[in-house]
Structure 1
Amino acid sequence: MTPIIKLFSLFSVYLLISWVSHSPKNTDEDFLNCLQDYNSVYDPDNIYTRQTTNFTTILDSSIRNLRPQSQYSTLTPKFIITPSNEYEIQAVIYCSKKVGIIMKVRSGGHDYEGLSYISRLPFVIVDLRNYRSITFDTQEKTAWVEAGATLGELYYAISKQSDTLAFVAGSCPTVGVGGHFSGGGYSMMSRNFGLSVDHIIDAKIIDVNGRILDRKAMGEDLFWAIRGGGGASFGVITAWKINLLSVPEKVTVFNVTRTQEENATELVQLWQSIGNTIDQKLLIRLFIESISSTSTPGNRTISVTFTSMYIGGVEELLEIMQKSFPELGLVKEDCTEMEWIESILYFAYIDPKEESTNILLNRTPLNPITFSKNKSDYVTRPISKEGLEGIWKILHEENPQKAQLQLSPYGGKMAEISESETAFPHRKGMLFMIHHGIEWNQEEDSQKHINWIRNLYSYMSAHVSKSPRRAYMNYRDLDLGTNNIVGSTSYKQASKWALRYFNNNFNRLLHVKAKIDPTNFFRNEQSIPSLWKK
């Protein structure tokens, strides 16, 4: 295809998408016929219908969090599209609009509420599994990462370029880059480097009219919005350009566990005061759960694991710990120096001595997929000893090792960046974030476990941020409120959940949405709405 013909073809696609009628036909045949109109650019092997032999295999392959039928609709998609190029994504947008079917985009499939693969209305999934290329400019220390790549694939690719380059993002290797980056991207190095969104310098997005936009073309308002405001509200993000970060040849890690009998409660109290103020190259994260015990009344105790990464050597770490947190009793034997890429395995509970970094290319989670319910909170003042003991009591009400709290410290670089710099607002004044989680295996147990975590969340209201009570978008929670999928959503309705995720940035996100997607084509139960009234 000559450049002139190709340019005319792209321009024609753009005009068709821009002028499409919105009359909802909503039939399988209409949608397939529409895609067939794009035979010159569409690969039929990338279209999966419910009649396709491996339809269920493709659908299930990216589901990471099972949703109980008693709580959520489990309608399966009418189609799964696995596009190989941007023209195919343009075609899906056009045809979804034409027949009146909802379009969802999936990269890694880790959305806690499953919004990328379930819906109460007929829908199509655009699965970005084929959008996984990663290209580097080693002189500039930058990389373009396609949105369907996993964090593990990104980390592995970086490690093949250099031993002293890294990126700041999550600990779970099978999380997709697309959703993780657009929601913020917390890391074991965030106190030193900030979040993923703080190191994104460009992006490519396909908007509701099929336009392929980079940072210059989309403008600074939209570029601001997709860094922490969620990409699914504004279009299909196909790639991110990131700045790579310099790290030493060796970092130091440790996992130290203490129980209540070993003063765990007092150690958590102390950690609350130092976790966000200690040397910013050091991040100490807590994992708290109720476990069985033969030495305590009731045969239960609280276990607190202090999980840490220091961007430097062990001797420096021990000096810092002795000065700032000697009560933990950390000794050299607790610590291990390793390369940054090995720490990625370590925090994913993979022994770097036993496994090659090639395991990061595995897109299938190592642990069994379970039912789960998750929530999040931000803490601005230390929780009292009495408050912590109340939490322990509630943890003991659940099955041992089925529920867990993760306490992730803030401060450092995160506190130096203003709330309005990106759409991600949780910056200065945050001591730590809490991830509340519960997992179970049997569908029939769902309501019991969901009731338990809601009870814990209710108890926590006295101990966490207020007006609004904040939440992390990447730990999505539909209990906070939802939009109307059919018809408009008012400002009052959306603000119930959106102010928790975005605080003062919500109004700016509304204005960006109204400009980029005025008909609210890109929508889900917690997307930025187009139609709203104060």
Structure 2
Amino acid sequence: MVVRSNNIRALPSLLLVLPIIVVLLVSLAPCSTSASNSNPSAHNTFIHCLVNHSDSSHPISSAIFTPRNASFTSVLDSYVRNLRFNTSTTRKPYLIITALHVSHVQAAVVCGQRHNLQMKIRSGGHDYEGVSYVAEVPFFILDMFNLRSIEVDIESETAWVQAGAQLGEVYYNIAKKSKGHGFPAGVCPTVGVGGHISGGGYGNMMRKYGLSVDNVVDAQIVDVQGRLLDRESMGEDLFWAIRGGGGGSFGVVIAYKIKLVKVPEKVTVFSVYRTLEENATDIVYNWQHVAPTIDNDLFIRLIMDVVNATQNGTKTLRANFIALYLGDSKTLISLLHDKFPQLGLKQQDCIETTWLQSVLFWTNINISTPLEVLLDRQPQSPVNFLKRKSDYVKKPISKEGLEGIFNKMIELVDTILYFNPYGGRMAEIPSTETPFPHRAGRLWKVQYQANWKTPGKDVADYYIDLTRKLHKYMTPFVSNNPREAFFNYKDLDLGINHNGKNSYVQGRVYGVDYFNQNFNRLVQIKTKVDPSNFFRNEQSIPTLPH
């Protein structure tokens, strides 16, 4: 019996057969020493293991790329989204498995343990610290991009989506079946489903419908024993953990069953700019009181950066208000004239469009562009060197506080702040419903950005230092004890786990920032399902100390 990736709804019926086969394989696999990148015989032994442990009707050989393969570099580079981790000195993987079938994933798990190799799981490559494709120890990459089946069922208002699919593909396939349905997830079309959803997943419909993980009803995962499990067979604890706790700490997520949400046939978007000379301070001050409390159909993101002022040689702060409203422009104009008149929104600022075309707008793609652009797996914008950090704001910031922040940004010049408002549905869902804890009491989430195009350590250090300085300056205005951070905005400044004897202590440092009170439950689940800590990375969930 074969599990076919193009019929993922049939997978649960096979779960009774596969565990028996794979558990036998694991139990027969003897321990061996760690393989070395420079040892050809070790390469051959590992590959032999992969071939032996995959489904013979779906040969794995065509999915294996070693450094000796002419396509190795292009396969590796094709999903690197941060050039900081694509240099000549960056450690390269032992090999790459571009899984074509579920059995390839199972073989990777079995043989990775047998040969004591660290496995990195990559679905889209957008993790900010390159954790899915870089390591300090010998490792291999399990790349999920070929497992990207999407099956939409409008009758049940659900869809099975494999981890290697990208958000643009998901949105396109939903809209192809129904103009009245969508899914609350990120605004970048090339983000991979596996990492995005397993870490929480948020977007511009979260005030209406919550996070991506709040709309997941089932999942399929390969566990440390190589078993293919669904929600029923994995149990509610593990199902809870992989909806916001990071799937890569617990297994390899194959697919999520998502619940579709209703969207109107007509939505409205706008993007308006205001500088300090155009009263940006007062507008931003009022935004923070309005954006988290206004109608749940409206999401207004605030982006702040530094630009040239009208006066020669001076800099000024620019605030960009970019919004999605699940309704028509006339209603939106009336709403904002009543609740947020300081913005001064005009009819000509608004664009009425479809929900799917609004995705293009939010990605800075002309909305008249053919929608098939969402199926392009390479980003429309050039890939940069970058650094990101995050925070949560619980209390409105005074005008004096805002002015200080603006002045600091003008001093630093090359930093950007994103403010993403909460409230609405986000405040209604209990903080323990999923591992994602940042719910009620948070007004907005902060993302710190620095982007640059020039390689070199000195340049990287300069820009990274800028984000750290701004992050430090923001300390009085954000959450504390713990200073909260968003797991999908991976930030190794918060701590690195070397996965040795101090793994739990190291993991707790960043774990409490990301997960607050949910960290302890995640550790307990991790210890139960992966006691040997095979599924690990620099910021994975640790096991309890022995």
TM-score bin (small chain): over 0.9
Asked if 1:525 is matched to 2:538, the reply is yes
The range that moved more, 117-126 or 523-532, is: 523-532
Aligned partner of 1:351 in structure 2 is 366
Aligned partner of 2:422 in structure 1 is 410
- Summarize the alignment of residues 476-515 of structure 1 with structure 2, pairs less than 5 Å apart: 476-485=490-499, 487-515=500-528
Aligned partner of 1:115 in structure 2 is 131
RMSD of the alignment, in Å? 2.0
Aligned partner of 2:440 in structure 1 is 428
Task: Give percent identity, aligned residues only.
Answer: 48
Aligned partner of 2:39 in structure 1 is none
Distance 1:510 1:2, change over 3 A: closer
Q: Secondary structure at the match of 1:475?
A: coil
Which of 174, 196, 200 is the equivalent residue of 2:216? Answer: 200
Asked if 1:314 is matched to 2:329, the reply is yes
Is contact 1:104-1:125 (8 Å) kept? yes
Asked if 1:360 is matched to 2:407, the reply is no
Per-residue CA shift, 1:55-94, capped at 9, x if unaligned? 0000000001122689x97211011001111111111111
Aligned partner of 1:333 in structure 2 is 348
Q: Distance in 2 between matches of 1:69 and 1:386?
A: 42
Aligned partner of 1:224 in structure 2 is 240
Aligned partner of 1:459 in structure 2 is 473
Is contact 1:147-1:178 (8 Å) kept? yes
Aligned partner of 2:529 in structure 1 is 516
Q: Secondary structure at the match of 1:397?
A: helix
- Unaligned segments of structure 2, at least 5 residues: 4-13, 36-41
Q: Distance in 1 between matches of 2:370 and 2:360?
A: 9
Aligned partner of 1:28 in structure 2 is 43
Distance 1:200 1:442, change over 3 A: same
Which of 295, 302, 308 is the equivalent residue of 1:286? Answer: 302
Q: Secondary structure at the match of 1:433?
A: strand
Which amino acid in 1 is paired with 2:327?
Answer: G
Q: Distance in 1 between matches of 2:104 and 2:309?
A: 56
Q: Distance in 2 between matches of 1:153 and 1:69?
A: 26
Per-residue CA shift, 1:164-216, capped at 9, x if unaligned? 11000000000000000011111111101111000000000000000100000
Q: Secondary structure at the match of 1:285?
A: strand
Is contact 2:180-2:263 (8 Å) kept? yes
Q: Distance in 1 between matches of 2:519 and 2:200?
A: 15
Q: Distance in 1 between matches of 2:18 and 2:205?
A: 45
Distance 1:240 1:2, change over 3 A: closer
Q: Distance in 2 between matches of 1:363 and 1:372?
A: 20
Q: Secondary structure at the match of 1:130?
A: coil
Q: Distance in 2 between matches of 1:91 and 1:278?
A: 50
Q: CA shift at 1:141, angstroms? A: 0.7
Is contact 1:202-1:241 (8 Å) kept? yes
Give me the TM-score of the superposition, normalised by structure 2: 0.93
Q: Distance in 1 between matches of 2:252 and 2:450?
A: 31
Q: Distance in 2 between matches of 1:250 and 1:232?
A: 37
Which amino acid in 2 is paired with 1:493?
Answer: Q
Which of 357, 362, 383 is the equivalent residue of 1:342? Answer: 357
Per-residue CA shift, 1:294-346, capped at 9, x if unaligned? 327x5101110100111111111111101110011011111111110010111
Q: CA shift at 1:385, angstroms? A: 2.0
Asked if 1:55 is matched to 2:68, the reply is no
Aligned partner of 2:22 in structure 1 is 13
Give me the TM-score of the superposition, normalised by structure 1: 0.95
Q: CA shift at 1:8, angstroms? A: 6.7
Asked if 1:160 is matched to 2:176, the reply is yes
Q: Distance in 2 between matches of 1:521 and 1:2?
A: 26
Q: Distance in 2 between matches of 1:2 and 1:432?
A: 47
Q: Secondary structure at the match of 2:432?
A: coil
